Structure 1
Amino acid sequence: MSATFVYDGDCAFCTACARFVERRVPTAARIVPWQRADLAALGLTREQCLEAVQYAAPGRPVLAGPDAIAALLRSSHAGWRPVGGALALPGLGALSWPVYRWIARHRHQLPGGTAACAVPPP
């Protein structure tokens, strides 16, 4: 069983990003919306998936948000590996969560986003 990258299939921005990954990031990971994933089998909850993208790999801890994106990029069979590695560096890694949260809060305003993409504030 390969790794699985889980995103919000109800969000047009997230879906556009997932389509980009499927076209441009060669990886063995499955890319699936959480609404169609077997969350229990992946060790995920609905709440985790509402909070951030998830990367579930057999025998490894589940990663969320920018850590999940970094793991997905590191799993690539092409030039995306260094980008994923860079996201895990201490300096850049410290900035990745605030940037990820900003994007998540504003995803309805980003290219491809719709009102349905808006996430209620915590």
Structure 2
Amino acid sequence: MTTRPVLVFDGDCGFCSKSVELLERWVDPDVEITAWQFADLDELGVTPERAAHEVLLVTPTGEVHGGAAAFAKLLAFERGVWSVPGAVMQIPPIDLLAAKAYRLVADNRYKLPGGTPACALPADRRPGAKAD
């Protein structure tokens, strides 16, 4: 296990990859960032199905946060101004609104700038998917 949190995202999704680039540029989080397709998911304690469904933040203690909660926790770990929105996103009912907004974006990411038709396919049907 790593000593830093690990952010796991969908490397096959152009929108997701662009979002991670912006995150690195604007926030510069103190996390390891990896596409789930290249991560040791067993070591991280997550399934490929969950990793394909939502962005994940795995803490050094093995806690797994997904979707909007992953972003909230990631921002809350940061020092300075970014910790404020991270903390706010964890307050009920804001956490529920953030979760709904995340799911709306995630379910429609292939329609967003940077998204590709591959984003709309289930992970096992995307180009380059491993055959069982």
Q: TM-score if structure 1 supplies the norm length?
A: 0.92
- The one-character-per-residue Cα deviations of 1:37-90 (angstroms, maximum 9, x if unpaired) are 111111111011011110001215210000001111112233211011111010
Whether contact under 8 Å (2:45, 2:62) holds in the other structure is no
Where does 1:26-65 land on structure 2 (aligned, <5 Å)? 26-65=28-67
* 1:94 matched residue in structure 2: 96
In the TM superposition, 1:2-17 aligns within 5 A as: 2-17=4-19
Q: Quick check: 101-110 or 76-85, which moved more? A: 76-85
1:119 CA drift (Å): 4.5
Q: Tell me if the contact between 1:22 and 1:31 (Cα under 8 Å) persists in the aligned partners.
A: no
3-state SS of 2:8 partner: strand
Residues 81-110 of structure 1: per-residue CA shift (max 9 Å, x gap): 101111101021011222111111110111
SS in structure 1 opposite 2:7? Answer: strand
Corresponding residue of 1:110: 112
Structure 2's unaligned 5+ residue stretches are: 123-132
**Identical aligned residues as a percent:** 38
**Partner residue in 1 for 2:20:** 18
Structure 1 stretch 69-78 or stretch 100-109: which is displaced more?
Answer: 69-78
Tell me which stretches of 4 or more aligned residues in structure 1 moved more than 3 Å: none
CA distance in 2: counterparts of 1:83 and 1:118, whole angstroms: 29
TM-score when scaled to structure 2?
0.85
Shift of 1:24: 1.1
Largest Rg, 1 or 2: 2
C-alpha distance in 2, partners of 1:119/1:86? Answer: 33
